[in-house]
Amino acid sequence: MEDRTMLTFPAFFEHTLSRFGSRDALALVGKKPLTYTETHDRIRAVMAFMEKLGIHPGDKVAILATNQPHWAIVYYAITFMGAVAVPLLPEFLPVEISTLLEHSETKVVFASEGLLPKLIGLTTDFLVEVVRIENFGVVRSYESWPEFDADAWPANEYDVKEDDLAALIYTSGTTGNPKGVMLTHRNICYTAVKGYEIQKILETDRFLSILPLSHTYENTLGLILPMYGGACVYYLGKPPTPALLLPALLEVKPTTMLTVPLIIEKIFRSKILPAFTEKKTVRLLYKIPPVRKILHRVAGKKLMETFGGELTFFGVGGAKLNKTVERFLIESHFPYAVGYGLTECAPLLAGFNPQHPVLQSTGPCCKGVELKIMNADPRTGEGEIWAKGFNIMKGYYKEPGMTRDMITPEGWIKTGDLGAFDQHLNLFIRGRVKSMIVRSNGENVYPEDIESVINNFRHVVESLVVEKKGKLIALVHFNQEEIEQRYRYLKNEVANYVDQQTEELRLELQEYVNARVNKFSQVQLVIAQADPFQKTATQKIKRFMYTG
């Protein structure tokens, strides 16, 4: 980054525009991409439109939409004029949306067609307009009825500062006390630069976006970072189902993707692992490390083809990657990378690129970011991770007390994660401080470690380990369809047989786990969880819902 480039969205965009104006910037899969020059014109037109809607610097404007080029254009337009973007997850319920719009004092909502029903009948003390994001048509208006003009330019000039608030991110939908993370232009742009230092982004790169843009992970590293490097981002326009995603991968042939562990773990367990375990001969050979590596290399080539064949960076973040799956990625030479962070840090704190993988680590901290381990256990070196840098949030919106609890007077943010460094300063995450279980004998148990073992067991989709009445209990969601498919020949008896098989798996799983964990982490009971667990935007299980 050149020294004269300010850490603001408009400064970043102008810098890219001057170098790559004719390059592709944003695209819907199957449609002609918009160049950076064309994107710039649309941003200006939306800014002019928002001026007519009465938006001024500092005003809050929400986006409730699926990923698409207009999502990015509206986000840029809001922030280029010094207003504050309030990205909302499409999965939020109407009551949650109402609470967050009221709390944020949002004046205008840009919503995609399919999500407009969530706004029907919704009123707050501040909301004035609802706009359809696909064509910028006003859905309802309480005063005038302004029209969008694609050729318009804003009437005013806007002087956006690095410390100006760019986005207000709500980490969850809640009807209780909403927690809005205030991120400045400097926070987000600085993080994008740190991401660029880990993996240089070129104007020839093609991103395929499959995570919600309303989450900071995709927003910073999947929108601002590619813009900073002059790359093009492709959007599906709909949720990334296999039927939609697979053809898109072959069409776009992405060089870069950002995902969460659940995606690659599902692919490994449903498509890759069965090929190594179903036949007895192959299963025996697979247990021999040198042979396993050869098999993984062959499978890795096929996996690359599935993703279009041109991937150079497959980023995994948002949760810890399963050790068995990560070992496969390393041995298959698949270009994966891992990052660690949190919304309050915009979000990146540590990471490595595909050239320097470290099994079960997040890699070293980003340059310019400070990490330290507080109250480290003298035996293990583990303690709470604290962070400091230009990417640390301004605070929680309307919550000064909560902000003081989270950020020290010296500027250190308490991540709530437990971790330790190795001799090479690679960071290893053990779990959340709040989820760590302290047994009656004083031993610390990390449920994430036990869950990692459980999730390697056949037919297990996901699991959660909790403590109840002094006992460790594993809640396990088995793949019922997979079990049914395996015993489909039983026809009329399949329902009863599936129940019987699930019961047998439950007991076998308990023995399997307890043979692979220390005595303090032994599971006393395995309970089959009928429905999938409730999850966050990055597909982490909402642990608090199951620990009561």
Radius of gyration (C-alpha) of the chain in whole angstroms: 24
Q: What is the count of structural domains for the chain?
A: 3
Cα(543)–Cα(465) distance, integer angstroms: 9
Cα(332)–Cα(272) distance, integer angstroms: 11
Cα(6)–Cα(190) distance, integer angstroms: 10
Give pLDDT, residue 438.
78
Q: At which of 199, 217, 244 does a domain end?
A: 199
Does residue 209 lie in a domain region? no
Residues 265 and 351 in one domain: yes
Residue-range definition of the domain harbouring residue 344:
260-426
Residue 346 · residue 370 · CB < 8 Å: no
Give pLDDT, residue 384.
97
Give pLDDT, residue 503.
81
Give pLDDT, residue 142.
56
Residues 336 and 315 in one domain: yes
Residues 60 and 174 in one domain: yes
Residues 358 and 465 in one domain: no
> What CATH number should be reported for the domain holding residue 180?
3.40.50.12780
Residues 380 and 497 in one domain: no
Q: 296-304: which pairs have CB atoms within 8 A and are 24 or more residues apart?
A: 296/328, 296/331, 296/332, 297/331, 297/332, 297/333, 299/272, 299/275, 299/328, 299/332, 300/328, 300/329, 300/331, 300/332, 300/333, 300/334, 301/332, 303/267, 303/272, 303/332, 303/334, 304/334
Give pLDDT, residue 404.
97
Residues 325 and 474 in one domain: no
Interior/surface letters 19-32, b for 16+ CB within 10 angstroms, e for the rest: ebeebbbbbbbeee
Residues 57 and 187 in one domain: yes
Name residues whose C-beta falls within 8 Å of residue 119's C-beta, 6 or more positions apart in sequence: 64, 94, 97, 109, 111, 130, 139
Token pair for residue 57? Answer: 């610097």
Residues 291 and 350 in one domain: yes
Residues 28 and 168 in one domain: yes
Q: Residue 247 CB: number of other CB atoms within 10 A?
A: 12
Residues 405 and 461 in one domain: no
Residue type, 524: Q
Q: Sort residue 106 into left (φ over 0), alpha (ψ -120 to 50) or beta.
A: beta
Does residue 206 lie in a domain region? no
Does residue 521 lie in a domain region? yes
Residues 377 and 521 in one domain: no
Give pLDDT, residue 50.
97
Give pLDDT, residue 536.
78
List pLDDT tens digits, range 335-394. Answer: 999 999 999 999 999 999 999 999 999 999 999 999 999 999 998 999 999 999 999 999
Give pLDDT, residue 480.
77
Does residue 226 lie in a domain region? no
> What CATH number should be reported for the domain holding residue 517?
3.30.300.30
Give pLDDT, residue 412.
98
Mean pLDDT in order along the chain per 10 residues (548 residues): 76 97 98 98 98 97 98 98 97 91 97 95 89 92 78 97 97 67 98 97 98 96 98 95 94 97 91 90 94 97 97 94 96 98 97 97 97 94 97 97 97 96 96 82 80 88 89 89 64 59 85 88 91 81 81
Residue 65 · residue 133 · CB < 8 Å: yes
Give pLDDT, residue 249.
97
Does residue 487 lie in a domain region? yes
Q: At which of 396, 426, 456 does a domain end?
A: 426
Does residue 520 lie in a domain region? yes
Does residue 222 lie in a domain region? no
Per-position DSSP letters for 12-80, written without gaps between them: HHHHHHHHHTTSEEEEETTSPPEEHHHHHHHHHHHHHHHHHTT--TT-EEEEE--SSHHHHHHHHHHHH
Give pLDDT, residue 495.
55
Angle at 402 between CA 397 and CA 408, to 5 degrees: 110
Residues 395 and 468 in one domain: no
Q: At which of 382, 400, 426 does a domain end?
A: 426
Instruction: Please tell me the pTM assigned to this model.
Output: 0.88
Angle at 74 between CA 68 and CA 75, to 5 degrees: 95
Does residue 218 lie in a domain region? no
Strand partners, 548: none
Cα(7)–Cα(227) distance, integer angstroms: 13
